[in-house]
Amino acid sequence: MAESRNWAFPANLQPKQEEVEFDLDSALDAVVQLRAEIPDDAFTASLLGTERTGYGVVIRDDGLILTIGYLITEAASIWLTTNRGTVVEGHTLAIDQATGFGLVLPLGRLNAPALERGPASILDVGDDVIVIGQGGRAHALKARLVARREFAGYWEYLLDKALFTAPAHPQWGGSALVGPDGRLLGIGSLLVQERESLGGEAEQGNMFVPVDLLEPILDDLLKLGRRAGPPRPWLGLYVAEVQGNVVISGVAEGGPAARAGIRKGDVLLELAGEKISGTADLFRRLWHLGPAGVPVPLTLARKGEQLRLTARSIDRNDLFAKPQLH
State the pLDDT at residue 325: 62
Residue 321 pLDDT: 85
Reported confidence tier of residue 1, pLDDT bands at 50, 70, 90: very low
Domain locations along the chain: 11-114+217-224, 120-213, 237-319
Domains 11-114+217-224 and 237-319 share a fold: no
The whole-number average pLDDT for the span 26-44 is: 97
| Mean pLDDT score across all residues of the chain | 94
pLDDT tens per residue, range 77-118:
999 999 999 999 999 999 999 999 999 999 999 999 999 999
Q: What is the mean pLDDT of residues 211-231?
A: 96
Measured between alpha carbons, how far apart are the two ends of the chain, in Å? 24
Query: What pLDDT is stored for residue 200 in this prediction?
Result: 61
Distance CA 134, CA 175 (A): 8
Residue 42 has pLDDT above 50, yes or no: yes
Res 18: pLDDT? 96
| pLDDT surpassing 60 at residue 2 | no
Class of domain 237-319: mainly beta
In one-letter notation, the amino acid at residue 90 is: G
3-class DSSP assignment, residue 274: strand
Q: Which CATH class is domain 120-213?
A: mainly beta
Give 123's DSSP letter. Answer: -
pLDDT at 6: 81
CATH 2.40.10.10 fits 11-114+217-224, yes or no: yes
Per-residue pLDDT tens digits for 269-324: 999 999 999 999 999 999 999 999 999 999 999 999 999 999 999 999 999 987 76
Q: For residue 59, what is the enclosing H or E element?
A: none
The yes-or-no verdict on residue 67 having pLDDT over 90 is yes
List pLDDT tens digits, range 169-212. Answer: 999 999 999 999 999 999 999 999 866 555 566 789 999 999 99
C-alpha–C-alpha distance, residues 28 and 143, integer Å: 15
| Longest CA pairwise span in the chain (Å) | 65
Q: What is the pLDDT of residues 111-142, one digit of tens each?
A: 999 999 999 999 999 999 999 999 999 999 99
pLDDT of residue 195: 60
